[in-house]
Amino acid sequence: MQRSRILVGSPARASFASWEALTALLSSSMERSDVVPAGSVASALSPLSGLGAALLAYATESNPFVLVDEDVYVSIWFETGDASFKIEENLDPLIGTSRATVRWKLYLPTAVALASAVSQQISKNEHLAAGPPPPYSSKSTAAQSESSIDFDAVRAMGT
């Protein structure tokens, strides 16, 4: 299911602290899955530890971080300026992530000024990607629309 989450940015929260909040949110969400090892999400994000705070300045509603997995498509951006003092942030685990796979990927906001540095840091990271995310499509929605219930058999039971 396609979802979104807005986090507090600067000046209400320092950029490095916002990066830590994003890392914690992704870790607590994805690592609920039986197949995503504890500590693996923070480890996957670690190449961006120096650039993460700078990337937040680019993470807007129209240019978000996008977490993509089989049943997950979540856009995450940061509210900045005066609005950052007014939002009610939700740091609860992201819905659907308890079924996460080891193939999850975080697409980073487009940051032309940081493109070279970001590209260099994520070049060998299977969980981080620069550039636009794939268009949203839900395997689970398609699966739900194809019911596995045999309605003829149910009707026959009632007669």
From first to last of the 159 residues of the chain, give the pLDDT tens digit.
799 999 999 999 999 999 999 999 999 999 999 999 999 999 999 999 889 999 999 999 999 999 999 989 999 999 999 999 999 999 999 999 999 999 999 999 999 999 999 999 999 999 999 989 999 986 643 333 344 455 565 666 665
Looking at residue 146, what is its pLDDT? 42
Looking at residue 149, what is its pLDDT? 57
- Name which of 86, 45, 46, 72 is nearest 137 in CA terms: 72
DSSP 54-97: HHGGG-BTTB-EEEEETTEEEEEEEE-GGGGGT-----SPPTTG
* pTM assigned to the model: 0.84
DSSP 25-57: HHHHHHTTSTTS-TTHHHHHHGGGTTTHHHHGG
Looking at residue 106, what is its pLDDT? 97
Looking at residue 50, what is its pLDDT? 85
Looking at residue 108, what is its pLDDT? 97
* Contact present, 19 and 58 (Cβ < 8 Å): no
Distance of CA 32 to the CA centre of its chain: 14
Contacts of 52 by beta carbon, 8 Å cutoff, 6+ apart: 16, 19, 22, 23, 45
